[in-house]
A and B are shown apart, each in its own frame.
Chain A
Amino acid sequence: MSAERHPVGLRIRGGTKVYPGTRALKAVDFDLRMGAVNVLVGENGAGKSTMMKVIAGVEQLTEGQVLMDGAEVRFNGTDEARRHGIGIVFQELNLFPNMTVAENIFINREITRGRVDIDMSAQREETRKLMRRLEHDIDPDAMVGDLRVGQQQIVEIAKSLAQDARVLILDEPTSALSAAEVEILFRVIADLKRQGVGIVYISHRLEELIRIGDYITVLRDGAITGARSMQGVDVDWIVRAMIGEASKDFAKEVEHDYGAEIFRAEDVTLPRIGGGMAVDHVSMALRAGEILGVYGLMGAGRSEFLECVIGRHPHAGGSFFVDGRPLKARSVAGRIRRGIALIPEDRKNDGLVQMLSIRENMTLSSLGAFTTGFHMNLSKERGTVRDFVRRLTVKIASMENPVSSLSGGNQQKVVIGKALMTRPRVLLMDEPSRGIDIGAKAEVFRTMRKLAADGLGIIFVTSDIEELMALSDRIVVMSNGRVTGEFDRRQATETAVIAASAKGHAPANMPPANMPKEEIA
């Protein structure tokens, strides 16, 4: 794997990117080698996606330069990057659900007759060829919105392939794919490598990285902490480079006993749009003071389960109990009153009202506490907000500023503050550490620990296995809408958890729904 065989096609030198409130990249130097898989790894918020967005022209560097073939380039948009042969498959799918597969693949590059009339049959034919190459049988005329998430990912990959990219960036391409689909993708990657395409591969699945990677770059907190060829790299080395010598310590500071059962969900079901079940007869129980970690791949039904609990889906089935008494309220407001609070995964669209101020966001769920009759006591409101801002160490200049001006970590703390103001008994946290920096993350985890010690029951959903192992008192694994494993903290191993999370994603001979849990544990 010599440097001659894999010439550097693109370099970043001294790349710095500043976002309001955070420094996402700190003077990074990155070499992208052609004809090889350049693996990029780091925790959530380490700066991987930012670096790739810079390369793909979505974002521009605040300082530093991007060099291609020795000359400085500056991409002011994705199409400029595309003209230089850079294709990217985003982590969040950027597809148009209201258009067909073929239309999506050729969006903005339509095959036309005389620049006006779109040649649908040519596009369809090309799409079919791409799908054959990806060994998938997706109809070019199918609406993207009707496809499974995994199939949508394939369409997204096909879209980049269609552009004959010289550099192809894959940001967590396998997060929604089944094992068989991953194998196909790896074959396609090997094929592209032979054609001299430089591939950047971002993933959290470390074994996968070691298997497919030729070069590895590790990012931590916006800086590169390790870059080398993949030879001799093992999981230990990656983990050390990722989290540093001082491994992150979310371990319990104080042991406390759990109280009585505080929450129980029985037989929760939620039909999926387009058939099947998003949440398939899920039951779980939670004790006061307990942190229950729910692990699973994307689309496993974890978030949907939490949404059923908070009452977002009126057509969901099943029953809930708080403190042993049945939870009859159907509305979100009624459930909040009974002591359930949700911290949603999608902060921007579900958690906050971006144009309102920090104060107005924080008190949105608990205005009743400041209201007598219909009159709101604004000074009492400000006092309470000030108190929560201090307790949660939210860094703000003024509580009257719009919440959109805050960094991700501080926004998350505002959402947590909003949930805590309702004085919940059960706190549901959906990916509480997504998109926030490492310092804020540690603070969020400390807060969770403290809340649990105070007797709150916490159910938190995560895709970060380390976080899961470190924080949870008990672990529930979901896959394809079902509970496929339940572990005590002391018995759980990463392998067993991951194995349980892959259940139902096996290509053939799907395991029966009622597979005994002992088999996993």
Chain B
Amino acid sequence: MSHATTDAAPQPAGNANLLLVLLKARTFIALIVVFAFFAFAAPNFLSSANMVIMSKHVALNAFLAIGMTFVIISGGIDLSVGSIVGLCGMVAGWLMLHGIDPGFGWTMHFNTIEICLIVMAVGAFIGAINGFLITKLNVAPFIATLGTLYVCRGAAMLFSDGRTFPNLTGNPEYGSHTFRLIGAGSFLGLPISIWMLIAVAVVAAYISRRTPLGRYIYAVGGNERGAALSGVKVNQIKMFVYMFSGLCAALVGLIISSQLVAAHPATGQTFELNAIAAAVLGGTSMSGGRGRIGGTIVGAFVIGVLSDGLVMMGVSSFWQTVIKGLVIIAAVVVDQAQQKLQARVALQAEAALGK
């Protein structure tokens, strides 16, 4: 990028535009660079087995990051997603092993689809609690979701007194034996969880670009007062983003418990931070109003490829953490530079018109 600056100095406008294109594509460029680096440096990095494993890792973070992106664009934050992952995994495990006992002397058991729907409803419900605290009770998003973070984690522990639900293989009698497929199955060569990610990402991208709901999410994050005066139902929009984020977390809970064939209450700790990192790396502004689903997914891939690649190279996990942190900081610094440049280019265009 420094190359571009020195190179095209005689044509300031063209130079700025080229630089802007490079800056806009920076996360993508970063992904290519990281990918190319590990292709050379890490043995077996390009093997298809490794690709599948890596994409499964990335998918988990990407789900959370998509939900997080909507929340951050709307001007909020959702710290509770990691705990929702844990709690939803436990709910799934409980339903598989014990079913529900309504107290009539018999027990309801569920098939895989029903379990998925119930768990997703639980995730969305916790998101709704977040939304309710934030919109109706005026709790700051940071605090409200921090509270639900603790509550959900504690609730997950209470499910099993802190123990793991093992052997979630399901029971063909109840139709829950297919539960394993969520994490282990594949379709047309791609794991099911990747197909789910593609579906969620397409829906989320569609919502953000082509529906009034998406437009309102951006407007609320950009200027809540202005949006409200324009007739946007701010509370409904906020409710939606937190519920959607909870739903995404529930999906991750399902996938993890299926992959591990077990549910552990501590699953998902610090996942929320990875999700925030992916969103920020993808160009989402923490002050709201700006961000792209596509950017977030690329961001999730950068983080995922980076950590898996470093593992394969045998870099110590302590250094991995340091490197991840540096990458995130660098991303935000570059993002600020892009914003400044973008504003300047737009101003120049409008000023030129004014003359």
Contacts and interface: CB of A to CB of B under 8 A. Distances in A.
A364 B290 contact: no
B346 A401 contact: yes
A376 B210 contact: yes
Interface in B302-352: 343, 346-347, 349-352
Interface string B80-112: 000000000000000000000000000000000
B212 interface: yes
Contact of A353 (B223, B349, B353): B223
Interface in A1-41: 20-22
B232 A364 contact: yes
Given A349-B226, A407-B354, A356 B289 contact: yes
A368 interface: yes
* Interface size, B (range): 20 to 34
A405 B218 contact: no
Interface stretch (A88-96, A392-400, A500-508): A392-400
Interface string A363-386: 111011001001110100000000
Contacts of A368: 212
A376 B211 contact: yes
Contact of B349 (A312, A354, A397): A397
B71 interface: no
Contacts of A485: none
B20 interface: no
A352 B225 CA distance: 9
A398 B346 CA distance: 9
A350 B226 contact: yes
A43 interface: no
Contacts of B47: none
B353 A397 contact: yes
Interface stretch (A124-132, A225-233, A256-264, A328-336): A328-336
A425 to B, nearest CB: 15
B219 interface: yes
Contacts of A401: 346, 349-350
Given A349-B223, A364-B215, A401-B350, A312 B229 contact: yes
A333 B231 contact: yes
A360 interface: yes
B163 interface: no
Contacts of B232: 333, 364
Contact of B229 (A20, A344, A397): A344
B222 to A, nearest CB: 4
Contacts of A335: 231
B231 A350 contact: no
Interface in B255-298: 289-290
Nearest to A336: B231
A259 to B, nearest CB: 25
A80 B148 CA distance: 49
Interface of chain B: mostly helix, strand, loop or mixed: helix
* Interface size, A (range): 35 or more
A418 B223 CA distance: 15
Contact of A405 (B225, B233, B350): B350
A397 B226 CA distance: 24
B347 A405 contact: yes
Nearest to A377: B210
A374 B225 CA distance: 24
A397 B347 CA distance: 10
A351 interface: yes
A346 to B, nearest CB: 9
B222 A356 contact: yes
A342 interface: yes
Interface in B213-230: 213, 215-216, 218-219, 222-223, 225-230
A354 B222 contact: yes
Given A360-B218, A367-B212, A376-B215, A310 B229 contact: yes
A355 interface: yes
A385 to B, nearest CB: 13
Contacts of A86: none
A406 interface: yes
Nearest to A400: B346
A356 B219 CA distance: 7
Contacts of A21: 350-351, 354
Contacts of B346: 397, 401-402, 405
Nearest to A333: B231
Nearest to A312: B229
A382 to B, nearest CB: 13
A363 to B, nearest CB: 8
A407 B354 CA distance: 9
Nearest to B228: A332
The listed residue with most A CB atoms (<10 A of its CB), out of B222, B229, B233, B352, is B229
A349 B222 CA distance: 10
A365 B231 contact: yes
A368 B233 CA distance: 13
B354 A22 contact: yes
A50 interface: no
A20 B349 CA distance: 10
A404 interface: yes
14 contacts: A312-B228, A331-B231, A350-B226, A351-B229, A356-B289, A360-B215, A364-B219, A364-B232, A374-B213, A375-B211, A397-B349, A401-B349, A405-B349, A406-B350
Query: What 4 A-B pairs have minimum CB-CB distances, sorted nearest first?
Result: A353-B222, A333-B231, A397-B349, A367-B212
Interface of B: 210-213, 215-216, 218-219, 222-223, 225-233, 289-290, 343, 346-347, 349-354
